């Protein structure tokens, strides 16, 4: 069977050709499964998409915000109806198991409904002013064209975290999805079309750097939102900074779970397994460091190794599989390279450490769940983001040492501590340097109602999800209405009223 021929979506039209040729989207669990062929865009397609978005901006921004929200609400309804279809497609193109891709679609649905509600909120402020017969208020204004650049690990959830709030705020959108997972965004474009979104408001161009760079630097793109590596984030910060362009960065993580001696150890074990090996460790919130109190470390490690060895690895379309493949060969090689680094640094390879091969595994990019013990804080495997199913375990003598060890990182996205001591829990909330802290829960599992993002090398201060995401996609305007019929001078005439 011939692969499906996908098209870019520009100005409400499906565009078959790309100036960069085409590329195939291949199932990382089965190289014989080609999801589709996609046109590879470049500067010409970016220019066309931005022009379409710019032309659509005024009409869309003048559409009442509740009406914009109603369209996003319909998008959420359609995603709900097509949830299983989209989840199965996502498993084919990204590899994670069906239970997780269903959750990915559900997160997009949740984001749609939350964003739709902001169409009737999006509150500003009023405040008392200094002079009589004068009124002061602040309102949110859309920025213009939003350039969205997204990763492959959450093909719908992460893009919709950005797209839905951008649209409900009155912006128009051009998105460059990750070249490993373009099909999910193609289907999202279909959903927007089905929901009645006006032409030009949402546009899709496929490709890699040849699309991302001209999109980020385009003079008619007013805001860029990016999720990906810290290295690319720094590059975008540079090019956007030169242009004084707003930029939201959600970057890497090196997240840690602390397990204290008083913890519910069975619960902490479940959290460590899910945090480290869910999504094959390919989450920015994945648990890649496990910090164990020395009193419980030996027994905990034994149970952890036994459970991790029994994780069922395979094609995510199989409902019995618990962990899918790594996204592509390059990333699998990168993960294996870090395993070799850990061994060379003197860490003890407890389990795993090899690609899974033989039989059906030879058709995909599979890797064994991997655990290192005897890890120290100076080792690269403890400090650098690996983005795969590799967990580094370190032992500590006290709560204070646990917090110090967790904070010894260039990143600060997610964190976790298991303890029954409420005083320790609140001290951890206060002292951990991260944008997210879980008490008696794993480092993964963020919900759309609260802000998502981190500190240090994890980002540049913006937050997605929650109501805080509106600050990425709007400008504040202060408005003063003077009905006095005369010139009033703030801070000057105020003294005359005393």
Return the SS3 of 358.
coil
Q: What are phi and psi of 149, to 5 degrees?
A: -125, 120
Would you mind telling me the total number of residues written for the chain in this entry?
498
The residue annotated as part of the active site, out of 93, 107, 250, 368, is 250
DSSP output for 97-146: -HHHHHHHHHHHHHHHHHHHHHTT----EEE--SSTTEEEEEEEEE-SEE
Cα(145)–Cα(127) distance, integer angstroms = 31
Residue 464 appears among annotated catalytic residues: no
Cα(305)–Cα(317) distance, integer angstroms = 26
Task: Give all strands of the β-sheet with 436-439 in edge-to-edge order.
Answer: 348-351, 370-373, 390-396, 287-293, 255-259, 414-418, 436-439
Query: Count of CB atoms within 10 A of residue 335's CB?
Result: 23
Residue keyed to tokens 């240090």: 456
The residue annotated as part of the active site, out of 45, 169, 213, 284, is 284
Residue keyed to tokens 């913006």: 462
Cα(25)–Cα(216) distance, integer angstroms = 24
Burial 426-462 (b: 16+ CB within 10 A, else e): ebbeeebbbbbbbeebbbbbbebeebbbbebbbbbeb
Taking phi over 0 as left and psi of -120 to 50 as alpha, with beta for the rest, 207 belongs to left
Please report the beta strands in 333-446, taking only residues with DSSP state E, as ranges in sequence order: 348-351, 370-373, 390-396, 411-412, 414-418, 436-439
Residue 284 appears among annotated catalytic residues: yes
Residues annotated as catalytic (active site), given as ranges:
250, 284
């Amino acid at each position: 069977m011939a692969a499906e021929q996908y098209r870019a979506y520009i100005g409400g039209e499906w565009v078959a050709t790309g100036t960069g040729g085409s590329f195939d989207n291949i199932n990382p669990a089965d190289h014989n499964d080609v999801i589709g062929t996609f046109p590879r865009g470049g500067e010409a397609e970016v220019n066309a998409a931005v022009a379409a978005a710019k032309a659509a901006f005024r009409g869309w921004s003048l559409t009442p915000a509740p009406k914009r929200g109603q369209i996003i609400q319909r998008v959420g309804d359609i995603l709900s109806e097509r949830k299983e279809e989209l989840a199965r497609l996502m498993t084919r193109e990204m590899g994670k198991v069906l239970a997780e891709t269903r959750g990915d679609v559900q997160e997009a649905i949740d984001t749609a409904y939350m964003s739709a509600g902001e169409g009737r909120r999006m509150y500003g402020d009023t405040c008392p002013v200094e002079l009589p017969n004068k009124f002061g208020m602040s309102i949110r204004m859309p920025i213009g064209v939003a350039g969205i650049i997204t990763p492959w690990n959450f093909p719908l959830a992460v893009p919709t975290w950005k797209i839905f709030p951008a649209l409900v705020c009155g912006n128009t959108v051009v998105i460059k999805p990750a070249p490993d997972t373009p099909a999910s965004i193609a289907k999202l474009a279909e959903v927007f079309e089905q929901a009645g979104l006006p032409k030009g408001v949402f546009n899709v161009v496929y490709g890699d750097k040849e699309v991302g760079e001209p999109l980020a630097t385009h003079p008619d793109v007013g805001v860029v939102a990016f999720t990906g590596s810290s290295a690319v984030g720094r590059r975008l910060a540079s090019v956007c900074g030169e242009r004084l362009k707003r930029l939201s960065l959600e970057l890497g993580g090196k997240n840690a779970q602390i397990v204290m001696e008083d913890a519910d150890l069975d619960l902490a074990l479940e959290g460590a397994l899910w945090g480290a090996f869910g999504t094959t460790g390919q989450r920015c919130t994945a648990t890649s460091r496990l910090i164990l109190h020395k009193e419980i470390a030996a027994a905990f490690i034994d149970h952890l190794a036994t459970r991790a060895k029994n994780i069922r690895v395979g094609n995510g379309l199989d409902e019995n599989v618990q962990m899918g493949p790594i996204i592509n060969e390059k990333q699998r090689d990168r993960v294996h390279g870090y395993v070799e680094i850990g061994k060379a640094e003197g860490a003890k390879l407890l389990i795993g450490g090899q690609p899974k091969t033989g039989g059906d595994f030879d058709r995909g990019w599979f890797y064994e769940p991997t655990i290192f013990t005897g890890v120290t804080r100076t080792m690269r495997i403890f400090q650098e983001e690996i983005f795969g199913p590799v967990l580094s375990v370190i032992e500590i003598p006290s709560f204070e040492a646990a917090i110090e060890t967790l904070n010894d990182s260039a990143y600060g996205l997610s964190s976790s501590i298991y303890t029954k001591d409420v005083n320790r829990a609140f001290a951890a909330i206060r002292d951990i340097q991260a944008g997210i802290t879980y008490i008696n829960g794993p480092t993964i599992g963020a919900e759309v109602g609260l802000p998502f993002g981190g500190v240090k090398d994890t980002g540049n201060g913006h937050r997605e999800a929650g109501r805080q995401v509106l600050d990425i996609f709007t400008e504040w305007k202060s408005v003063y209405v003077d009905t006095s019929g005369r010139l009033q001078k703030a801070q000057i005439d105020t003294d005359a009223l005393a």
